[in-house]
Every structure is written in C-alpha cells, then in structure tokens.
Amino acid sequence: MTKKILLLSAYRSDSHASWAKWLTQNLAADWRVLELPGRYYRWRIRGNPLSWLDELPELLHDWQPERILATSMVDIATIKGLLPQLAAVPVSYYFHENQFAYPQGEGQHNSVDPLMVQLYGALAADECLFNSDFNRQTFLTGVDALLKKLPDCKPAGLAARLGQKSVLLPVPVNAVAGGEKIPGLILWSHRWEYDKKPELFLQLLQLLKAQNADFKLALLGARAQKIPAALTHIRKEFSAQILVDAMVSRADYEYWLGAAEVVVSTAIHEFQGLSVHEAVSAGAVPVVPDDLCYREQYPASFRYTPGDMNAAAQMIGGVLAEQFRPLPEVKSSADTWQQWLCYC
C-alpha cells in the first residue's frame, strides 16, 4: 500500500526545491507538498504555522498523512499543537542546515528564535535527518552551547538524547553528464553571498593572475539585487577571462559544469555542498576548504587550509598545468532514501 507523506518545506530555495522534486519524482508515495517562497527568512522560520493555518486544515479535510517529512525551517512543534489531526503523525525532521552553525552576516541581528524553532522541532520529531555529519555534529554541539547560556530549569543530556534519534541522509545527487572541457575553465557555482566568501575568490584569481596562469571563468549562481563588491571587481579586472556571468537555465548550467576543469569553493558555511558535488560528477576537479562538510566528502588532496588562497592557487595551478589527479567518487544517496521510505 502506498504510504501517504506530507512534505512541508518552509523556505523554497533552489537546493530545497531540487531535493523536494527528486523525492516526489523518485520515491513511490502518495505525496502532498506545501512550500513557502525562499525569501523573508526570519518571517518564514517563525511564521510558517500562520502561513499554513488555513491551507493545512483544507488539505487534511479528505486526506490524512501517515508520515510528515518537514524541513528544519518548519516550526513543526507549533503546527502539531495547532492541528490535532497531526498530533500523532510521526515526523521526520530534515536538516538542510542548522541555525546553530550559520554564520551571521553584516547587518543581521542575533536572535535565539531560529535556534528555538529548530530545537523544539527536533524534540517533537520522531527522527532527525541530516544531510552531512558536519551538519549533525554542529547542531548537537550548538544545542549544548545554548543550554549552557540559559539560566536554570534546563533538561540534562538533551544533545545526547537528540543524537540517539539523528540519522545521516545526504541529499540525492543526480550525476551531470560531462562534456568537452574548455581548457583552463574555473567554475564558481555558488550564491554570491557573504557565507560563500566571494572576496576570497577574488583574492584567489588575483594570485593566479600574478602567477601568469592561463584561465577562464564561468560565474554562475544566484546573485542578489545589490551586487557584491567582489563580483563587481571580478567583472572589471577579469572581463577578458569571463565566458559566462549569469544565473542560467538548468540546461546551460549543466553545460558549464561539464565544460569546467576546476570547481572552487571559498565558503565559510556549507552543510551539503550540492553545487560542488554536481560539478565533480561532471568531471570538474574540486578545490575546497579543509573544513565544513567537505572533509567527509573529498580526500585531503582536494582540500586546502581554510582561507589560504596561496594553497588554493597552487592546487589550481597544478590542475591547469595538466597535473591531473583522479577525481573523487560522488556517491548518490538514492538507495538510502529508498530504504528510508521502506522503514519510515
């Protein structure tokens, strides 16, 4: 009998949307999906029970789920309290990210609210699913650190209890077909935001230029209305090297992944590294920090000391000089998700 699953995603960013699409297309279940747009982050994480206050009862009028799969942006504890029909439905709480380890950007104010939403959600869930061990460990460490700051009347061993129901379940990666490589093409496939540190990428390009490296650039990834200073500088200083500079269609995105020789990350925040995964599946050599989720995904020979652009430039120089190393294997978690469906 087909299992009835309610998928709740409170912040439909590109990675969340890709994940939800893969699940509903590849796992045989009776899915109902509610998603909210990926904008107004603080309102989304705190207000999603209100946003769905009328829509959820209407959905449940003639359909009752057997399992809820909710992202960690969903205030599932409040939703279950507001809707008695959902109170006894088992919950799998999926952590694409955790707010305990999310770096704070300039102008952002620190608030305990997002932390408490995820903590209560994890407590209300029957299982906590994480896309990487880095994500899992930083969440549990963050819970411990938060409790130490609270004055009194605190439960003991809370992180250990949550750890007992925490499972590693990476986002499925659909391999991208490799194409004909463009010699010297370096790929940036991340959001142009503070947590991806584009200013370090600029520094890296300047080092390669100083070394007389012959390279070209594919600048992909979402960009905000306010263009970051690093991107403006790259456009000016490296205009002759730029082959593409846009948020392109999926077909064009896969073309550039297949054409790239190198994919670079300079991130200070990365829980799953999906864009690098996809590029590696298409035959690009990863050059990533020895940090974050990358440590569990790629051998040490593809990782540089975080922030050390000289080391990153040396690695890229070796690739561009045709000192190729075997590409790391990109494992798909499709079978693991099939197992989850069988046992949930």
Per-residue confidence in pLDDT tens, the chain, 344 aa: 799 999 999 999 888 998 999 999 999 999 999 999 999 999 999 999 999 999 999 999 999 999 999 999 999 999 999 999 999 999 999 999 999 988 766 555 678 999 999 999 999 999 999 999 999 999 999 999 999 999 999 999 999 999 999 999 999 888 898 889 999 999 999 999 999 999 999 999 999 999 999 999 999 998 888 889 999 999 999 999 999 999 999 999 999 999 999 999 999 999 999 999 999 999 999 999 999 999 999 999 999 999 999 999 999 999 998 766 678 887 778 899 999 999 98
Helices (H) and strands (E) in the chain, counts: 13, 12
Are residues 113 and 83 located together in one domain of the fold? yes
- 35: its two tokens: 């998603």
With respect to residue 338, please indicate whether it lies within any of the assigned structural domains. no
Instruction: Count the Cβ atoms, other than its own, within 10 Å of residue 319.
Output: 18
Are residues 146 and 14 located together in one domain of the fold? yes
Question: CATH number of the domain that 47 lies in?
Answer: 3.40.50
- 93, 128 in Cβ contact below 8 A? yes
Under DSSP, is residue 198 helix (H, G, I), strand (E, B) or coil? helix
Are residues 289 and 255 located together in one domain of the fold? yes
- 330: its two tokens: 């990109």
Q: Which residue has the tokens 């809820």?
A: 68
Predicted local confidence at residue 326, as pLDDT: 75
Structural domain of residue 266, as residue ranges?
A: 185-320
With respect to residue 330, please indicate whether it lies within any of the assigned structural domains. no
How far, in Å, CA of 28 to CA of 23, rounded?
9
Are residues 111 and 208 located together in one domain of the fold? no
Are residues 284 and 248 located together in one domain of the fold? yes
Are residues 160 and 191 located together in one domain of the fold? no
Are residues 163 and 246 located together in one domain of the fold? no
Q: Total structural domains in the chain?
A: 2
Q: Give the rounded distance of the alpha carbon of 40 from its chain centre.
A: 18
Q: Which residues pair with 32 in a beta bridge?
A: 6
Taking Cα atoms as reference points, which of 293, 287, 326, 284 lies closest to residue 310? 287
Are residues 147 and 247 located together in one domain of the fold? no
Domain boundary among 134, 169, 204: 169
With respect to residue 340, please indicate whether it lies within any of the assigned structural domains. no
With respect to residue 72, please indicate whether it lies within any of the assigned structural domains. yes
Are residues 152 and 242 located together in one domain of the fold? no
Taking Cα atoms as reference points, which of 115, 42, 55 lies closest to residue 82? 55
